[in-house]
């Protein structure tokens, strides 16, 4: 369980990496689960950030972590694009049936 503010960033990064691994395996249910875990961690981070500030070295680490998370997110979106396109086409088609 994260204890310091930087630990929340690390935990979010870890969940982001797991989301990417799941996306590479085309396990979209697992991607959604890790996305939910990230959402919980982000909310906990917001609460923790109200009472704790990062030290200069931690701010540098946070920057590196955020860059990796953004890269992971871009890769997940790239991998998910065909799945999302298929889902949208299917969803659009089902609307016309009702």
Rounded distance between C-alpha atoms, residue 39 and residue 21, angstroms: 18
| pLDDT, greater one: 81 or 37 | 37
* Backbone conformation region of residue 3, classed left if phi is above 0, alpha if psi is from -120 to 50, else beta: alpha
When pLDDT is cut at 50, 70 and 90, the band that residue 98 belongs to is very low
Q: Which fold is adopted by the domain 5-97?
A: Methane Monooxygenase Hydroxylase; Chain G, domain 1 (1.20.58)
Task: Report whether pLDDT(5) > 70.
Answer: yes
pLDDT in tens, 55-94: 999 999 999 999 999 999 999 999 988 766 666 666 665 5
Nearest residue to 55 (alpha-carbon basis) of 9, 14, 5: 5
């Amino acid at each position: 369980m994260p204890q310091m503010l930087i630990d929340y960033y690390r935990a979010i990064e870890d969940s982001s990496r797991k989301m990417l691994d799941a996306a590479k395996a085309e396990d979209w249910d697992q991607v959604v689960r890790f996305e939910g875990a990230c959402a919980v961690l982000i909310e906990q981070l917001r609460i923790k950030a109200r009472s704790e500030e990062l030290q200069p070295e931690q701010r540098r680490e946070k920057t590196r972590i955020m860059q990796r998370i953004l890269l992971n997110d871009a890769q997940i979106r790239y991998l998910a694009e065909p799945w999302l396109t298929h889902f949208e086409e299917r969803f659009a088609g089902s609307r016309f049936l009702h």
